[in-house]
Amino acid sequence: MSDNQDFSVVGKSLPRSDARIKAVGAAQYADDIFLPGMLYGKLLRSPVAHARIKSIDTSAAEALPGVKCVITGADIPKIKYGNWRLVPESQDEYALAIDKVRFIGDEVAAVAALDKDTAEEAVRLIKVEYEELPGAFSVDEALAENAPVIHDEYQQQTPNISLDRKISYGDLDRAFAEADLILDDVFTVHATSHAYMEPCSCVAEYDHDGRLTIWTSTQAPYFVQCLLALTLEMRENDIRVIKPYVGGGFGGKMEMRPWEFCAAFIARKLGRPVKFTLTREEELATGRRRHPMKIHSKVAFRKDGMILGKEFIVHLDGGAYNSMGPTACFLCGNFGAMLYNYPNYRYYGAHVYTNKPPAGAMRGFGAPQALFVAETQMNMAAEKLGLDPIDIRLMNAMETGDEIPGVATISSCGFKESLLKVAEMTDWRERRKNLKPGQGIGIGCYSFISGGVFNWFNTRYNFTRAEVRAFDDGTVHLMTMASDIGQGCDTVLRQILAEELGLKISDIRLTAADTAVTPQADLGTWGSRVTLMAGNAVRKAAQEIKEQLYKMVSLKFDLNVIHDMRCKDGKIFPANRPDRNISFGEAVRMAQRANRGEPIIGYGSYTPRNKGLVTPAFSFGAQVAECEVDRETGAIEVKYMTTAHDCGTPINPMAVEGQLEGSVHMGLGYALCEQFIMKEGKTLNTTFLDYKLACAEDMPPGVSVHIDTYEPDGPFGAKEAGEGLVSPTAPAIADAVYHATGYRCMDLPITPLKLLKGMKKI
């Protein structure tokens, strides 16, 4: 099945619908909100990595003029929370520490005061007596005999392993016995920051009618609503979460966080609005980050390059709490066996507690780590077997219709086409042979999910839902909890709705991400779920509207029942008789009259069912990096990136390109320059001077092409774009560096120092 390609709005590179408000500086982010009587909040964080709290003395802080409230763990309900509600014992955090702190930055107390300076001063006046405990700062330390137990309040089979996952299929032992080549390697990958430009911020207000409203920088308003209700011991319906404009998230804003709890708790207690805004130092020193991992990967190949099987053992360095680690642990197992057909596979993943800032969800969610390893080993195998890296991939590549046993079916796949396209665009075979010393060209590939199937939040609602109201002035109002955090779903969903109803973007009003108004059913922006899931819901809601309006056209023109109908250019008409049309607005007016005043409303919801365990649809792609290495200094310059990717039908090609170029930025940082410098649990680089993001001058030029596929489960054939693409960049660059220097990176990031050591220059 394929949609009519004669689209009016879908497939067009339209500017974002919120571009103008952002260009004039009028878009309000959480920290831009000022309410009458508003207080300023500040958190006190633990300066030690692992300790028992012996006492807290807040008297001096409370006595400071201008301080209105000081709270500690003793003041709040003793209720643990976490996103993995399906597994209650995984909920391991208190909003403020009770009895123990487990990382440098753990939230211990909160203050609200008349102004920021007073709040900061008050925090400094709180005296906490700690009894320091030994810490564990790596997976190896946490799993060593006699390691300090970080969560000693509940039983764990293995101390400090909070959760593990096993996947097994086929006969792996036989695969290894029959193999001509076995690669058996241990890789380590590091933590990086989301580094969204907007530090987390929220404003909470209590309205004295028992309702609490919070404007917060979040990707998942519904999670915040539910978990605030849990921890404040309030009813969900008494909490209104509004997502204002959000300055990026990348996975880092998809949990209820302590400042949201503290703002709400203090606002309710005092009856005054309270704002908390984090500093960049807090974000970098204590914020969520990408999971560092230790990955042991053993892969069996036949001598012609065919993969026979793989064993993938992953230890996630989770930091002090679970956060979204369990999901990363699950997905890492899936991504370890993606892209290629692994007939025999065994995965063991363990989420390990350490005394470091918790790692959480971050763009790719387990895929950048798993695919760095998988793609590097494909390149190693190609070399050892004397094959071209693209040929060995083509031989094993997944294609449409392939199945991962008991896990997923690949319903659309443009992977082979992507491989062939990057080979053609880069003149791969010739260029690999004809490079100067210090130049290299390498390849990395990816696959990613279009939203998750596994309901770890244990929502009682549909996964997503849309409500559309139609008006007789020819406009509609779309209500959805889909949360635009910069990726552009407000625009994409309007495009989908406009296409479906034959309207212009400007005919669509949108209210999004306000739990008091928009349908509860939506889990937020993560896992590349929004275009496919919310897009399908919007389409279904539009179809309900259309059914009501088509009847009016049939009535007016006394049409034969066999006529197919169209909505286009603001008109509704039989497909083969466009002259018999009525305007959208008039059809609404007629339908409303015919229904004795009932408004014209369409509802649509989407929940993936019978889609395996992982996702309704997978994206695919291939990327080639060209690098130049200064063999004296170890400096690496990425000269050019070539990408071919399959996101199904791009709803807005310009927005997809923007996602893709942003992915290259994050992937390049992951490969080369972004890392946390840690010492005994303390993050030492806490400014953007020391935490190195690529600047405009560092970004390589590049080219990308969309591989045209059609995803049957996606709206107009669309699926994931822009999250998966963060994965191939590091292995592609690492392969190019190997090609240029002979240094094979097994330990990200590739710094000049590691490179020079690898080249035996120092």
Contact residues for another protein, defined by CB under 8 A: 13, 15-16, 18-20, 22-29, 31-32, 34, 116, 194-199, 245-248, 250, 279-281, 485-488, 654-655, 657-658, 660-666, 687-689, 693, 695-697, 699, 701-702
CB of 38 to another protein, least distance (A): 10
Whole-angstrom Cα distance, residue 367 to residue 359?
Answer: 14
Whole-angstrom Cα distance, residue 213 to residue 515?
Answer: 10
Select 246 or 308, whichever has its Cβ closest to another protein.
246
383, HSE (Cβ side, Cα atoms, 13 Å): 14
CB of 430 to another protein, least distance (A): 27
Select 27 or 149, whichever has its Cβ closest to another protein.
27
**Alpha carbon separation from 711 to 14, 241, 463 (Å, rounded):** 22, 33, 19
Select 101 or 123, whichever has its Cβ closest to another protein.
123
Select 280 or 563, whichever has its Cβ closest to another protein.
280
353 near 319, Cβ under 8 Å? yes
137 near 355, Cβ under 8 Å? yes
Q: 216: helix, coil or strand? A: strand
CB of 692 to another protein, least distance (A): 10
CB of 495 to another protein, least distance (A): 14
Select 269 or 280, whichever has its Cβ closest to another protein.
280
CB of 525 to another protein, least distance (A): 11
Q: Give 233: exposed, middle or buried? Use CB within 10 Å, 0-12, 13-18, 19+.
A: exposed
Select 27 or 60, whichever has its Cβ closest to another protein.
27
Select 147 or 694, whichever has its Cβ closest to another protein.
694
Select 94 or 196, whichever has its Cβ closest to another protein.
196
CB of 687 to another protein, least distance (A): 5
What are the phi and psi torsion angles at 525 (to 5°)? Answer: -105, 105
282, HSE (Cβ side, Cα atoms, 13 Å): 17
CB of 484 to another protein, least distance (A): 9
Select 326 or 488, whichever has its Cβ closest to another protein.
488
163, HSE (Cβ side, Cα atoms, 13 Å): 19
222 near 718, Cβ under 8 Å? no
756, amino acid identity = L
CB of 699 to another protein, least distance (A): 5
Select 488 or 502, whichever has its Cβ closest to another protein.
488
CB of 555 to another protein, least distance (A): 35
CB of 25 to another protein, least distance (A): 2
Q: Give 145: exposed, middle or buried? Use CB within 10 Å, 0-12, 13-18, 19+.
A: exposed
224 Cβ neighbours under 8 A, 6+ residues apart = 214, 216, 218, 241, 256, 260
- 131, two tokens: 């009894």
Q: Roughly what angle, to the nearest 10 degrees, separates helices 530-557 and 584-594? A: 70
505 near 17, Cβ under 8 Å? yes
Closest CA to 178 of 304, 302, 341: 302
